[in-house]
């Protein structure tokens, strides 16, 4: 079976992990700060806060920005549920903004229309989670301009997009956002097995997230309510969580960072081959804007709705593990209770009825890709 995505683990990765296993620290040692610095420097941003998952870091990012009961968080419906769940974790209300029909990202036009209506009924969002679908950035300058007018905070959910660029800025620079979040799940661009990271230019937000990821506990005397009782002393000053990344994970991530640009180049080569081979066939793929540089975490095609289920199932029958990213979140049983109307998201609905994710990862061989292309062409012709 050819998977839709997979990690590559090299000897240098194994050596890095082994070195930690033989050291004095398996967790809360030197590797997590090293990994945070590597990612922050790569993105051209001041601070990095590593966690045990991107879901965890989305949660503490929302808390650091003050999301609370009665507030609204808006995001794209075409994303993994974590992009919306983080709002519910904070007792906020969640709503969705329809996608652009060509980029599959949150539509700035739909966002502006929804903001105009929300202002009239005093239901403006506190936070917009802008998801960089498949590795390509949202139109962040347009979303940022709207944030200045309507006074909402921005989290870039760049779980797909480390290594990508927007208007010659590395995704994660936070030029147009308060916080950017990355995922290091095994199918992502680089991996720490499980893990995530927030990057930001705000020391206040970074400090808040650092506090929240580790039980709300501090040893910083400047934050304590009174002088320490002794050298052993710490205080819990927030209700935090155990969201820490360990040194084993961080060592793997730091090693993988050495190859991130190589991985992006290989993904671009695979995407180019798909696009060239499928040119002239009745399929479409994500529009790649000139001012974008995608990380190509995913390569999504759209086929005729009448062929969608058959092509998907027959590709899997041929041992090609295609996938569908994603089921619109408002269709999930847990979210249906909130009364979302599918007709409010026509572009998301059309996308869901047509989308298929083809395999793309750095170790996908040329012969495997040729099999995918050949099989897909035959199925489309039928």
Chain segment 173-199, per-residue pLDDT in tens: 999 999 999 999 999 999 999 999 999
Judge whether residue 381 has pLDDT over 90. Answer: no
- Each residue of 111-149: pLDDT tens digit? 999 999 999 999 999 999 999 999 999 999 999 999 999
- Each residue of 45-61: pLDDT tens digit? 999 999 999 999 999 99
Q: Is the dihedral of CA 73, 166, 77, 89 positive or negative?
A: negative
In the chain, where the domains are located: 11-257, 260-381
Query: Considering the domain 260-381 in this protein, what is its CATH number?
Result: 3.90.1150.10
Judge whether residue 27 has pLDDT over 90. Answer: yes
In the CATH hierarchy, which fold is given to the domain comprising 11-257?
3.40.640
Average pLDDT, the chain: 97
Give the mean model confidence (pLDDT) for residues 338-365.
98
Q: Tell me, what's the pLDDT at 24?
A: 96
């Amino acid at each position: 079976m050819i998977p839709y995505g997979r990690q590559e683990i090299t000897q240098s990765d194994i050596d890095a992990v082994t070195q930690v296993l033989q050291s004095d620290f398996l967790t809360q040692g030197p590797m997590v700060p090293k990994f945070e610095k590597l990612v922050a420097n790569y993105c051209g941003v001041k601070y990095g806060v590593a966690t045990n998952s991107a879901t965890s870091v989305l949660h503490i990012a929302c808390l650091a920005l003050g999301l609370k009961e009665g507030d609204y968080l808006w995001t794209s419906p075409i994303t993994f549920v974590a992009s919306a769940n983080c709002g519910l974790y904070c007792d906020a209300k969640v709503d969705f903004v329809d996608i652009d029909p060509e980029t599959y990202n949150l539509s700035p036009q739909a966002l502006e229309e929804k903001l105009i209506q929300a202002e009239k009924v005093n239901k403006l969002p506190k936070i917009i989670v802008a998801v960089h679908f498949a590795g390509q950035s949202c139109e962040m300058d347009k979303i940022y301009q709207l944030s200045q007018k309507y006074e909402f905070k921005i989290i870039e959910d760049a779980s797909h997009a480390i290594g990508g660029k927007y208007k010659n800025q590395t995704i994660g620079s936070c030029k147009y956002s308060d916080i950017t979040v990355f995922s290091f799940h095994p199918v992502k661009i680089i991996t720490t097995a499980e893990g995530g990271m927030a990057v930001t230019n705000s020391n206040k937000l970074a400090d808040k997230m650092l506090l929240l990821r580790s039980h709300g506990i501090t040893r910083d005397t400047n934050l304590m309510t009174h002088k320490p009782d002794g050298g052993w002393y710490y205080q819990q000053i927030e209700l935090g969580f155990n969201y820490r990344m360990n040194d084993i994970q961080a060592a793997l991530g730091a090693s993988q960072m050495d190859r991130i640009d190589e991985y992006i180049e290989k993904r671009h080569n695979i995407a180019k081959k798909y696009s060239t081979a499928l040119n002239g066939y009745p399929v479409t793929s994500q529009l790649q804007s000139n001012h974008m540089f995608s990380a190509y975490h995913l390569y999504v095609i759209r086929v005729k709705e009448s062929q969608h289920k058959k092509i998907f199932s027959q590709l899997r029958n041929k041992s090609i593990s295609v996938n569908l990213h994603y089921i619109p979140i408002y269709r999930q049983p847990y979210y249906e209770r909130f009364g979302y109307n599918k007709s409010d998201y026509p572009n998301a609905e059309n996308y869901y009825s047509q989308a298929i994710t083809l395999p793309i990862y750095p170790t996908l061989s040329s012969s495997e890709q040729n099999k995918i292309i050949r099989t897909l062409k035959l199925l489309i012709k039928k």
